Amino acid sequence: MDHFTLRDGVLHAEDVPLPAIAEAVGTPVYVYSRATIERHATVFREALAPLDDPHIAFAVKANPNLAVLRVLARQGYGADVVSGGELIRALAAGMKPADIVFSGVGKTHAELEQGLREDIGQFNVESEEEGYELAAIARRAGRAARCALRVNPDVDARTHEKISTGKSENKFGVPLDRATAIYTALAQEDGLDMRGIAVHIGSQLASLEPLEAAFAKVGALIGELRGAGCKVTHADLGGGLGVPYRAGEALPAPAEYGAMVARVTKDWNVRLMFEPGRVIAGNAGVLLTRVVRVKRGLTHPFLVVDAAMNDLARPALYGAWHDFEAVEPSGERMTAHIVGPICETGDTFAMDRECDALGAGHLAVFRTAGAYGATMASSYNSRGFVAEVLVDGDRFAVVADRIAPSAIMDAERMPDWLA
């Protein structure tokens, strides 16, 4: 459920008509709804109510906007970060260091030091090489880094191949059959406090089965580790729950997920941790855009909008579907190709899409753009970065300025020898 609804024929974000935002901030612009973020945070937390004191860390990569993170910090959420930049953001937004988990296969030496310096809650170590490097840094500082070992359960998440992470050929985690040996060896290190196992098999999962299969393997591993004399007090089950991108799409509800987790983990005797991203932020944002012009096409017209693949990359990258709706629908429909202005054919949001009839100057939204939207933007074609707005009831604020192409150019330098 979200708070983007038609009222008196005009699409609103909570109590704010979207044309008012377009007028004040211009287009394209990402618009987030605080009430929707809070609702999703609550629904997810309530879904985990059968568990004893679960730790929930929002996957910052899904939406790293500071104001969005602040809303989640106030909901008691921690953060799952994958870079020093995300760590700085999570702290700046008010997340407690102890509630921050650091994931990722390529944490640099400097990032490991940074995480240790900030005394974050947990490192999800993705290889034995990383484990030994972290141990050495921590030992020098006279510390012991709290760690989970991320395992690769070799489970097919049955999602888009680019966002599947739990197959043995993927770069993430250590193979299950080596996990006990690696965990036991790392547990000997003075600089490490090995305390658990982490797993994340992919994103936009449409079924609970692959998750359950992966969790069952983690459960067996925990038993094996304890049998080998290791301490295991935590298990991080990652994120991955899918959200509906099209009306009527059936996806597992958070409550079904929570019930499955409770059933599979009932004898684990650990503190469970979660890293949801999309399920919290996805449907809490839209990309508001204006039709530049309607161009005659061979079979259908091209609706050329002012947003492009640099602003919302998912359709170009993954062939992803985003619902497209007029802000002031007339009731008429049309079939169109919806494209951006960028000079490649990949800058196509949809082909042969049946949608609200639109003309030049009309406003429209791409829905479900609150996760992996603004954060994946680039400045390709020297288009700058779009603004982001957070709505709260009848008020709204710009929570990220539009970055003009000229501001990006300001960071470029002309060497003397070209002056």
Q: Is residue 153 part of the contact set for ligand LLP (CB under 6 A)?
A: no
Q: Is residue 239 part of the contact set for ligand LLP (CB under 6 A)?
A: yes
Q: Catalogue the active-site residues.
A: 343
Residue 396 sits at φ, ψ, to 5 deg, of -145, 155
Site for ligand LLP in 15-74 (CB under 6 A): 59, 61-62
Structure tokens at 37: 């973020």
Helices of type H across 26-65: 34-47
169 annotated as a binding-site residue = no
Q: Is residue 276 part of the contact set for ligand LLP (CB under 6 A)?
A: yes
Q: Rule CB under 6 A: choose which of 12, 34, 200, 337 binds ligand LLP.
A: 200
Nearer to ligand LLP, 162 or 266 (CB): 162
Q: What is the DSSP string of 322-386?
A: --EEESS--S-EEEEEEE-SSSSTT-EEEEEEEEE---TT-EEEESS-TTTTGGG---GGG--B-
Nearer to ligand LLP, 25 or 71 (CB): 71
Site for ligand LLP in 104-143 (CB under 6 A): none
Rounded Cα–Cα distance for residues 285 and 33 (Å): 6
140 annotated as a binding-site residue = no
Q: Is residue 238 part of the contact set for ligand LLP (CB under 6 A)?
A: yes
Question: DSSP assignment, residue 416?
Answer: G
3 state DSSP class of 200: coil
240 annotated as a binding-site residue = yes
Q: Is residue 257 part of the contact set for ligand LLP (CB under 6 A)?
A: no
Terminal-residue alpha carbon distance, the chain: 56
- E strands along 164-301, which residues? 174-175, 192-198, 234-236, 271-274, 285-295
Neighbours of 393 (CB within 10 A): 12
Q: Rule CB under 6 A: choose which of 2, 80, 99, 388 binds ligand LLP.
A: 80
Q: Is residue 314 part of the contact set for ligand LLP (CB under 6 A)?
A: yes
Site for ligand LLP in 157-176 (CB under 6 A): 163, 165
Cα–Cα separations (whole angstroms), residue 232 to 138, 183, 184, 194, 195: 20, 10, 11, 8, 5
Rounded Cα–Cα distance for residues 320 and 349 (Å): 8
Q: Rule CB under 6 A: choose which of 275, 356, 388, 392 binds ligand LLP.
A: 275
115-129 CB burial, b ≥16 within 10 A, e <16: bbebebbbbbbbbbe
139 annotated as a binding-site residue = no
278 annotated as a binding-site residue = yes
Helix/strand/coil percentages in the chain, nearest 5 = 35, 25, 40
Q: Is residue 196 part of the contact set for ligand LLP (CB under 6 A)?
A: no
User: How near is the Cβ of 172 to ligand LLP at its closest, in Å?
Assistant: 7
Number of H helices, E strands in the chain: 12, 21
Nearer to ligand LLP, 279 or 304 (CB): 279
Rounded Cα–Cα distance for residues 297 and 40 (Å): 40
Order of strands, sheet of 10-13, starting from the edge strand that comes earlier in the sequence: 4-7, 10-13, 16-17
Interface size with ligand LLP, residues (CB under 6 A): 22
Nearer to ligand LLP, 238 or 329 (CB): 238
Judged by CB under 6 A, the stretch of 23-31, 197-205, 333-341, 348-356 that binds ligand LLP is 197-205
Q: Which amino acid is at 275?
A: E
Q: Is residue 81 part of the contact set for ligand LLP (CB under 6 A)?
A: no
89 annotated as a binding-site residue = no
Q: Is residue 103 part of the contact set for ligand LLP (CB under 6 A)?
A: yes
Judged by CB under 6 A, the stretch of 5-13, 27-35, 85-93, 275-283 that binds ligand LLP is 275-283
Nearer to ligand LLP, 222 or 279 (CB): 279
Q: Rule CB under 6 A: choose which of 153, 196, 219, 240 binds ligand LLP.
A: 240
Q: Which amino acid is at 357?
A: A
Nearer to ligand LLP, 99 or 275 (CB): 275
The annotation places the binding site for pyridoxal 5'-phosphate at 240, 275-278, 372
The residues of the shown chain that bind ligand LLP, judged by CB under 6 A, are 59, 61-62, 80, 103, 163, 165, 200, 203-204, 238-241, 275-279, 314, 318, 372
Q: Which residues are annotated as a binding site?
A: 240, 275-278, 314, 318, 344, 372
